[in-house]
């Protein structure tokens, strides 16, 4: 790999400082940079007895953090800006910049911020997908006027795409040559120029990041097992709650395998292809993220044999499932931890966890590392050879035991050693390369999504964009599209096509609740969820209008009384599912930015596949809006709104489409086949090979 990283590393030293008003025994800093651990980064008290500090190397960019007082009280930094993380928590914000960012960046000044420049001949800067190579270069935001790739005597303009607070990217897509070739990246700004390279690549030896093709073509439905359906009272726990009872952190409602099995036809009616189960393994908690074992179904959910039968029944109806694996921590009843409690320093499993003192007692402020400091969740040491071997055997066991396993979702995956995920990927893909690996991470997932660890991650970035734009109406249409395209372009296309797009989950307030119960807002967000690149993931009950605030109120029993043909929201979700499944562009097409009017509150984007295209238009305002969008990048001229049935045609040679949308509504325009286009599809046409034409295929985003 050839890597350009000029002048400095991708980290910088930052000193955290907290001044207490009273005497404290300890202060720690916890944040996105250390997995929110309340024990990893202790602060030292200065001579005044009130000022606590610690200096840490932090990656460049934005971080969220809090101070943890006496290992239990979490507070924000009174001297920093704060932000809601979208899950109901207020955290302090920190922005870390490189040292040479002190000079301003201005287009046309002829200067280049050298620390920002980065390119390599590997993912994410060089990527092969669908017969094309995507070449990209990172630059400082607002620092470079023009960029191009030179191959031989051909100079190909690169497209500027959205980045983050520090950087932006230039990208271009070119046909993959069969032979070794050389290219140079040329940057221009005012009178200044900078050449990067030359770089030499052999397409035959470039590793291809393959993600499962079935994911972008499906629809995921997330089930919280204890709350979806209680089909059998035989396995109900003592003190089981009435189905419409109020959830707490500890009570159980009796949802089980029999209940899921009885609702398979309902899932099929939604167009669901994959069920994502929150943990189903034996556990002392109702959420089951603290497993007693990874090889036994929780008896209150069912038996291993019943789960095998469920897998067979699902497979017979064309459904698969994703298992939630929490390999970061276990319950204290897990055999290895239990042995440590009993045998102390003589335990053969001592190095499976991070033990600080003996005897080991499960109590508040535990003497062992635990997730978020919860004593019920002792953290596993995934570097230990025997622990690693045990954990790597979980996915193979269930793949070979219960039919229909399509993938795994990895809980708090950013807090587990990357080297473990590399070994995990080899194990899982060795079983079946089409098994889907989804990591849980709420921020930038690029470090894990370069082809050696995960395939995908949960789309909390997507959720956040919809929360700000639709639910809270805090951002404009152009800012909304900026965010969507920034996230899309953060990853290579094959990753973006299989990201899990969600609006609600077991860890967030339900989206409809955050919309103040406004069903029109929920519909708008769902429309984008089903039409943006990725795979939509519907949290159980979202489609029928269930509401609920922060955990545990977002985990109520499924309100089956609302699942009727008279439920307008449910019918809308079913319609979205049918539209998506009938469109190749909505499943695999690249996004194209068409229109954004911040004053009018409207926007439009397209999805373009090889022989298909769709246009999605959204009116977030409370007024009827008329506007036009350019369709010059799309071959189709006649369109029909798949939601309303209305037809539209491009105006003359300008290739402009005039649209009118009712207040708080959306349209999904699908091409109306003409006799000419039908005939054309029957003829195998030669693909264009012009580099310059190919590079202009999309505007504002990379292929």
Could you say which of 411, 444, 612, 694 is catalytic? 411
Q: Which two tokens stand for residue 74?
A: 């979490």
d(CA 500, CA 453): 16
Place of tokens 């296309």: 493
d(CA 428, CA 496): 21
d(CA 317, CA 133): 38
Antiparallel, parallel or unpaired: β 456-459 and 436-439 = parallel
Cβ atoms of 115 and 98 closer than 8 Å: yes
Q: Which of 556, 553, 483, 485 is nearest to 514 (CA)?
A: 553
Q: What DSSP state is assigned to residue 502?
A: E
Q: Which of 454, 457, 533 is nearest to 210 (CA)?
A: 454
Q: Which two tokens stand for residue 126?
A: 């060089």
Handedness of CA 390, 391, 392, 396 (dihedral sign): positive
d(CA 416, CA 34): 11
Assess whether 236 carries a catalytic annotation.
no
Cβ atoms of 33 and 71 closer than 8 Å: no
Cβ atoms of 633 and 610 closer than 8 Å: no
Cβ atoms of 695 and 173 closer than 8 Å: yes
d(CA 302, CA 598): 52
Q: With helix as H, strand as E and coil as C, how does 363-429 read?
A: CCCCCECEHHHCCCCEEECCCCHHHHHHHHCHHHHHHHHCCCEEEEEECCHHHCCHHHHHHHHHHHH
Phi and psi torsions of 492, nearest 5°: -70, 155
Q: What DSSP state is assigned to residue 313?
A: H
Assess whether 182 carries a catalytic annotation.
no
d(CA 356, CA 204): 50
d(CA 602, CA 623): 10
Q: Which two tokens stand for residue 457?
A: 């991650």
At residue 325, the 3 state secondary structure works out as strand
Could you say which of 129, 306, 440, 444 is catalytic? 440
Contacts 24+ apart (CB under 8 A), 179-185: 179/203, 181/151, 182/151, 183/135, 183/149, 183/150, 183/151, 184/149, 184/150, 185/119, 185/135, 185/137, 185/147, 185/148, 185/149, 185/150, 185/158
Place of tokens 């994911």: 215
* Length of the chain in terms of residues written: 703
d(CA 510, CA 548): 5
Residue 238, beta-bridge partner list: none
Q: What DSSP state is assigned to residue 23?
A: -
Q: Which two tokens stand for residue 337?
A: 């931890």
The residues annotated as belonging to the active site are 411, 440
């Amino acid at each position: 790999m050839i890597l350009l990283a000029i002048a400095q590393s991708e980290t910088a030293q930052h000193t955290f400082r907290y001044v207490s008003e009273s005497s404290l025994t300890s202060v720690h800093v916890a944040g996105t940079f250390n997995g929110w651990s309340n024990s990893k980064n202790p602060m030292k008290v200065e001579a005044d007895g009130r000022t606590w500090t610690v200096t840490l190397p932090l990656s460049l960019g934005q971080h969220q953090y809090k101070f943890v007082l006496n290992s239990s009280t979490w507070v924000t930094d009174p001297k920093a800006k704060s932000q809601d993380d979208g899950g109901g928590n207020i955290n302090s914000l920190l922005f870390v910049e490189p040292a040479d960012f002190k000079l301003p960046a201005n287009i046309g000044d002829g200067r280049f911020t050298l620390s920002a420049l980065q390119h390599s001949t590997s993912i994410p800067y060089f990527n092969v997908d669908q017969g094309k190579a995507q070449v990209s270069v990172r630059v400082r935001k607002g620092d470079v006027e023009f960029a191009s790739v030179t191959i031989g005597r051909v100079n190909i303009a690169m497209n500027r795409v959205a980045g983050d607070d520090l950087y932006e990217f230039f990208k271009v897509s070119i046909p993959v040559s069969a032979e070794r070739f050389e290219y140079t990246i040329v940057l221009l700004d005012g009178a200044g120029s900078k050449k990067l390279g030359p770089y030499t690549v052999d397409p035959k030896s470039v590793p291809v990041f393959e993600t499962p093709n079935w994911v972008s073509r499906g629809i995921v439905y997330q089930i919280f097992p204890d709350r979806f359906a209680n089909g059998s009272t035989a396995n109900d726990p003592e003190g089981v709650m009435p189905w419409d009872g109020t959830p707490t952190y500890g009570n159980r409602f009796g949802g089980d395998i029999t209940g899921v099995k009885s609702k398979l036809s309902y899932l099929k009616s939604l167009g669901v292809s994959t069920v994502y189960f929150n943990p189903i393994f034996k556990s002392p908690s109702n959420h089951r993220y603290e497993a007693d074992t990874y090889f036994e179904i929780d008896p209150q959910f069912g038996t291993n044999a019943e789960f095998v039968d469920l897998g067979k029944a699902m497979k017979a109806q064309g459904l698969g499932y994703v298992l939630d694996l929490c390999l970061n921590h276990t319950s204290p009843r897990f055999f290895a931890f239990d042995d440590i409690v009993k045998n102390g320093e003589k335990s053969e499993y001592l190095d499976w966890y991070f033990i600080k003192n003996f005897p080991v007692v499960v109590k508040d402020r535990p003497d062992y590392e635990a997730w978020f400091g919860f004593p019920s969740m002792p953290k596993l040491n995934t570097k230990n050879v025997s622990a690693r071997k045990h954990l790597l055997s979980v996915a193979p066991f269930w793949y070979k035991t219960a039919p229909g396993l399509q993938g795994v979702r990895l809980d708090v995956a950013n807090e587990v050693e990357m080297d473990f995920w590399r070994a995990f990927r080899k194990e899982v893909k060795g079983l079946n390369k089409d098994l889907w690996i989804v990591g849980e991470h709420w921020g930038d997932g690029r470090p894990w999504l370069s082809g050696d660890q995960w395939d995908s991650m949960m789309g909390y970035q997507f959720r956040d964009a919809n929360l700000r734009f639709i639910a809270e109406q805090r951002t404009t249409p152009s800012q909304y599209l900026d965010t969507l395209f920034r996230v899309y372009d953060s990853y290579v296309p094959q990753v973006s096509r299989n990201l899990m797009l969600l609006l609600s989950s077991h860890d967030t307030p339900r989206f409809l609740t955050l919309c103040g119960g406004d069903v029109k807002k929920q519909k708008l967000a769902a429309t984008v969820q089903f039409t943006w690149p990725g795979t939509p993931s519907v949290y159980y009950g979202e489609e029928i209008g269930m509401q609920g605030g922060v955990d545990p109120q977002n985990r109520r029993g499924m309100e089956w009384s609302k699942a009727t043909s008279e439920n307008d929201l449910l019918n809308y979700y079913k319609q979205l599912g049918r539209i998506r499944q009938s469109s190749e562009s909505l499943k695999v097409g690249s996004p194209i930015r068409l229109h954004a009017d911040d004053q009018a509150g409207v926007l439009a984007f397209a999805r373009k596949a090889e022989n298909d295209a769709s246009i999605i238009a959204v009116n977030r305002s409370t007024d009827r809006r008329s506007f036009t969008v350019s369709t010059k990048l799309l071959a189709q001229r006649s369109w029909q709104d798949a939601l309303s049935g209305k037809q539209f045609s491009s105006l003359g040679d300008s290739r402009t489409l005039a649209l009118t949308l009712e207040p708080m509504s959306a349209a999904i325009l699908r091409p109306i086949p003409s006799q000419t286009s039908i005939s054309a599809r029957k003829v195998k046409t030669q693909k264009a090979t012009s580099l310059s034409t190919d590079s202009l295929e999309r505007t504002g985003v990379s292929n």
